[in-house]
Structure 1
Amino acid sequence: MSVRLVVENQRSYFQKDYTRPINFRIRQLRKLKNSLKHNEKIILDALYKDLGKSKMEAYMTELSVVYQELNEAIKHLKTWAAPKKVKSGLMTMPAKSYIYQEPYGVTLILSPWNYPINLTITPLIGAIAAGNCVVVKPSETSPHCSAILEKILNYTFVEEYVHCLPSQTPHDEVNYQNYDYIFFTGSTNVGKEIMSIASSNLTPVTLELGGKSPAIVDETANLEIAARRLVWAKYINAGQTCVAPDHILVHESVKSQLVEKLKDEIKLNYSHAENKDDYPKIINDKHFERLSKLLDEPGLFGGEINKAARKIAPALLVDSDFSSPAMDEEIFGPVLPIISYQSLDDLIVKQRQLAKPLATYIFTENQATANYLLEKLSFGGGCINDCLMHLTSSSLPFGGVGASGMGNYHGKASFNTFSHSKSILKNTSKIDIPIRYLPFNQAKLKILKRIFS
């Protein structure tokens, strides 16, 4: 069946109001959860085949997040979807004001290869919770996971409601349809293309992109904790994480100490990682070759290569600066440049010259420093004295700003993303205050000025 026909059938299904009842939505979310649980083994196998993720890492970074989102939506959906009474102004007396949440209609989710289960199902939860129909297009770069997603989703749902396209479906055939909402996760360049295509139909979009997310370590930081958390966050999924620390900015007075602690953490947890079964691989040859070229920089620690397995051991570039080749674009791999700074103001000037990142991580024991950096730097979200963990909270909307994206999701934010907020004022016909009607005269003007001044 063509993509055009899928969209037409979904629009017809949506217009019959099948997806609007809250109990229907909750049943679909429960069906999705049961299907995922029933297929856990083949999901974990697919993640290993595509990315080399161990079962522990795959469950932690993919399925546990999805289950949490499902549980949150199932538990709170009735509250999220209920009309909200809001304050009415003096102008509207005696009317009452409400906000209704309504679904957009037929939505498109374009998901990436790096966390193929998590980053497909999590927005899908929001779309279902909000009462939409959904077309899903997974990435052809992670073929095993995409095949599993297609199998699970198309078995669980009727295609008029939720349909997963084959990952090899031509992009133009998918993208050039008249959707009511598009949710895209991927690179900034492709995000620009999606936004351009959506603009032809004035289709609203959420773009979850990426960028060069810095980790800032000042002279007061607990260096042992910082090193442990930075190494974990950078090298999970072999650095193929949109919010991984892209580079470290460390105060020059503690740089050598931090570097040694980073090396100790790598030696402890990633010795001979390039030969280990439970260390993820680079997704394809193209990315492997791109990352391998970054290892030619001076000051390299680690970075051993297993070309046959397409694995690169954790690497530090300890002599980097803002002009280094590794700073030209988002690294998206297990290579970590380390740049020293002298003052916070110099750091802020340099970091502001880069595009606004998806995340920023600040390691400091000085609350004033943390607050100063939060005020001066613009980024999607982040952590103080940690990395990545803001993603795990369904209470924190996740999304970018500027070149790192627009819109957000997770928890209630996912429901809001896929819902239109419809503002309704309910008045009475029993009282009719005449001041708004003609004739307009000085007496009425004086009354208005007395009320609103």
Structure 2
Amino acid sequence: ALEPVSGALAAGNVVVVKPSELAPSTAAFLAANIPRYLDPKAVKVILGGPEVGEQLMEHRWDKVLFTGSANVGRLILTKAAKHLTPVALELGSKCPCIVDQLDSKRDRQIAVNRIAGAKWSVCAGQACVAIDYILVEEKFAPILIELLKSTVKRFTATPECMAKILNTKHFQRLSNFLDDDRVARSVVHGGSVNQKTLTIEPTILLNPPLDSDIMTEEIFGPLLPIITGKEDRRYY
């Protein structure tokens, strides 16, 4: 989300940065350190919650860039329309991984290691570049699932290895995905949750209903649906 700042400054612009209130430590770090290394007249860091964001959008800006949820993105667009301010939005979406070949043992493990790293890694899938779900030919699904199970066990040998969910609200959102009986029946690995520690076990699901919330919303967490299809690849 900070990448556009460098381009804006290089083009001679003044920038106002409003970090997310959901990451207060990062926001405080930016507010304390950006003025130390950049001209405070050129870059301002404003801290606060949604009410601060709304106040900022009352002003006439030359350009607004927002990274976050679609719901907040709609509000940004509505506010910007008042001044006809150009807006760039980077919002959540579904990010599939397509697995179309698992012929050799070497290729299988390489693919699974990359999937596990891109899905769970250090932030439990809470990244916009994380894999959201997998598309795979039906015949490869059993092999893929078993390899993922064994790899996940290596990656998360102890509870301390599991990254926490960002906050209680997001934890509840992810838990609600699994509370759907149709989705719960599709769990083939994991599925345990701990609200006290805000941890959710890396979870693999096989063919959850395509109209369920887990398949229509960005997951942004350690839940990994696998959707199978026939060899003709029309499901791609």
TM interval, short-chain normalised? 0.7 to 0.9
Secondary structure of the residue aligned to 2:75 is helix
Kept in 2: contact 1:157–1:163 (CA 8 A): no
Q: Which residue pairs with 1:232 in the alignment?
A: 117
What is the distance in 2 between the residues matched to 1:331 and 1:195?
A: 23
Return 204-213 or 313-322, whichever deviates more.
313-322
1:172 to 54, 66, 78: 54
Q: Indicate if the aligned counterparts of 2:137 and 2:233 stay in contact, CA closer than 8 A.
A: no
SS of aligned partner of 2:9: helix
Offset of 1:344 from its aligned partner? Answer: 4.5
Trace 1:44-443 onto structure 2 (pairs within 5 A): 119-120=1-2, 122-168=3-49, 170-219=52-101, 222-236=107-121, 237-272=123-158, 275-276=159-160, 278-296=161-179, 297-300=184-187, 301-348=189-236
Shift of 1:293: 2.4
Residue-by-residue CA offset, 1:81-115 (whole Å, 9 max, x unaligned): xxxxxxxxxxxxxxxxxxxxxxxxxxxxxxxxxxx
Query: Retained in 2: the 8 A contact 1:282–1:333?
Result: yes
DSSP-derived class of the 2:92 partner: coil
Distance 1:219 1:320 in 2: 22
* DSSP-derived class of the 2:120 partner: helix
1:343 positional shift: 4.0
1:243 CA drift (Å):
2.1
Q: What is the DSSP-based 3-state SS (H/G/I as helix, E as strand, rest coil) of the residue aligned with 2:217?
A: coil
- The DSSP-based 3-state class of the residue aligned with 2:154 is helix
- Whether the 8 Å CA contact 1:298–1:319 is kept in 2: the answer is no
Cα drift, residue 316 of structure 1: 0.6
**Residue 179 (structure 1) shift:** 0.7
2:18–2:53 CA contact under 8 A, matched in 1: no
Q: Is the 8 A contact 1:181 1:205 kept in 2?
A: yes
Q: For residues 22 and 232 of structure 2, what CA distance do their matches in structure 1 show?
A: 40
| Equivalent-residue separation in structure 2 for 1:200 and 1:329 (angstroms) | 29
C-alpha displacement of 1:149? 0.8
Give the Å deviation of 1:306: 2.9
Q: Which amino acid aligns with 2:186?
A: G
Contact 1:147-1:167 at 8 Å conserved across structures:
no
Check whether the contact 2:203–2:222 (CA below 8 A) recurs between aligned residues.
yes
Q: CA deviation at 1:215?
A: 0.9
Q: From the two aligned structures, give the one with the greater helix fraction.
A: 1
Tell me the distance in 1 between the aligned counterparts of 2:136 and 2:209: 11
TM-superposed CA distance for 1:198, in Å, is 2.0
Taking structure 2 as the reference length, the TM-score comes to 0.88
Give the whole-Å Cα distance in 2 for the aligned partners of 1:142 and 1:214.
Answer: 26
Return the TM-score normalized by structure 1: 0.47
Q: Match of 2:224, SS?
A: strand
- 2-structure distance, mates of 1:193, 1:248: 31
Offset at residue 192 of structure 1 (A) = 2.3
Rg comparison, structure with higher value: 1
In the alignment, the residues of structure 2 paired with residue 251 and residue 226 of structure 1 have an alpha-carbon distance, to the nearest angstrom, of 14
Q: Aligned pair in 2 of structure 1 residues 262, 220: CA closer, same or farther (>3 Å)?
A: closer
Q: Percent same amino acid at aligned positions?
A: 40
**Secondary structure of 1:172's partner?**
helix
Give, in whole Å, the separation in 2 of the partners of 1:344 and 1:191: 37
Residue 320 of structure 1: CA displacement? 2.1
The code of the aligned residue for 1:179 comes to W
**3-state SS of paired residue (1:239):** coil
SS of 2:12's partner is coil
Find the aligned partners of 1:341 and 1:127 in 2 and give their Cα distance. Answer: 45
Provide Cα deviations, 1:432-453, integer angstroms capped at 9, x if missing partner.
xxxxxxxxxxxxxxxxxxxxxx
**Worse-matched range after superposition: 201-210 or 254-263:** 201-210
Q: Could you list the runs of 5+ residues in structure 1 that have no partner in the other structure?
A: 1-118, 349-453
Provide the C-alpha distance between the structure 2 equivalents of 1:182 and 1:293, rounded to a whole number of angstroms. 33
Alpha carbons of structure 1 residues 308 and 210: separation in structure 2 relative to 1, 3 Å = same
Number of aligned residue pairs: give it.
226
